[in-house]
Amino acid sequence: MEATYIRRRKDGRINIKSGNKVDQVVSWTLILLTVLTIVAFIFFNYAGLELSSAITETANNLKVMFLEPAINHFNLGEAIYQVGITLGLAFLATIIGAIIAFFLSLMAATNLAPVWVSRIVRIFVAITRAVPTVLWVLIFAIAAGLGSEAAVLGMLFHSIAYLVKAFSEAFEEVDKGIFEALQATGANWWHIVKSGVLPSTFTYLLSWVFLRFEINFGVAVAMGAAAGAGGIGFELFMASSFYFDLREVGFITYAILIIAFILEIISTRLKSRYFPASSN
């Protein structure tokens, strides 16, 4: 149901408008994106492009990639090992990031820290979060050299900024009555956090950490090649750019999709266990 807005002019007349500003912004954004897409297609360089042969070759490549997957340059054991490396990179970045983010979020929450401390931490994490994960990884790849260290550090920085925002917002939703009750018993700041804040928000923190782990897995796949971190992402890069082996690209793609599907199943079960009301 659309909302109705009534605005009185200076001359005493009344303007009545239906709809809301959010709908208008979304509509104009979609229109702008559509126009830009059409303009982009108009200015493409179509010289030498044969549309019929391009469609045929693309369909054939997709057929070879997804209907004829195969391993040609490594065996199944190596594939499992490379997937393990990618999961390990994502796990390290997520766990270390979650621990650091927990303590920073205590200083970012307005109900747990002074206003000036909260603002400083929030500004810091906002700037850190504004820089894409890929760019952080490339920055550390230049500073520390190509390898798993650069990938972990890059993902770690963005994970901390991401989780600080999520954790601090969860902390700020804690009922004020819990703080008042604990303060009435003489509890200090740390006891309030340990006995009041953490038990009330633990399931939310767990959900956010696992969500970030899923994100970091996808990033670790991409960074396997960009930062030289290894893992299944590096094998995907080699198969697609060095060997030009479409069958191997298809196999690696299926392996990544299977892992992502397994992570989604685990996430769903965690939600059904710790958030039974939201899963119904």
Instruction: Go through the domains of the chain in sequence order and give each one's CATH number.
Output: 4-65 (no CATH), 74-279 (1.10.3720.10)
Asked whether the predicted pLDDT for residue 277 surpasses 60, the reply is no
Can you tell me whether residue 151 is helix, strand or coil?
helix
In the structure, how many helices (H) and strands (E) does the chain have? 12, 2
Range among 32-46, 159-173, 234-248 rated most confident: 159-173
CA distances from 88 to 47, 218, 229, 241 (A): 46, 12, 11, 25
| Residue 278, pLDDT score | 45
Q: Provide mean pLDDT across the span 192-212.
A: 85
Q: What share of the chain has pLDDT > 90, as a percent?
A: 10
Distance, in Å, from the CA atom of 32 to the CA atom of 185, rounded to the nearest integer, reads 58
Asked whether the predicted pLDDT for residue 280 surpasses 50, the reply is no
Per-residue tokens: 99: 């621990």
Amino acid at 98: A
Distance, in Å, from the CA atom of 231 to the CA atom of 158, rounded to the nearest integer, reads 20
* Gyration radius from the chain CA atoms: 25
Q: Provide mean pLDDT across the span 239-264.
A: 86
| Residue 228, pLDDT score | 66
Dihedral angle over CA of 191, 192, 196, 199, nearest 10? -50
In the structure, what pLDDT confidence band is assigned to residue 20 with cuts at 50, 70 and 90? low
First-last CA distance in the chain: 25
| Residue 8 parent element (H or E) | strand 4-8
- Residue 8: beta bridge partners? 14
Asked whether the predicted pLDDT for residue 5 surpasses 70, the reply is no
109-131 per-position pLDDT tens digit? 888 888 888 899 999 888 888 88
Helix residue ranges per DSSP H, 227-245: 232-237
Q: Provide mean pLDDT across the span 84-113.
A: 90
Per-residue tokens: 129: 């979060």
Asked whether the predicted pLDDT for residue 48 surpasses 80, the reply is no
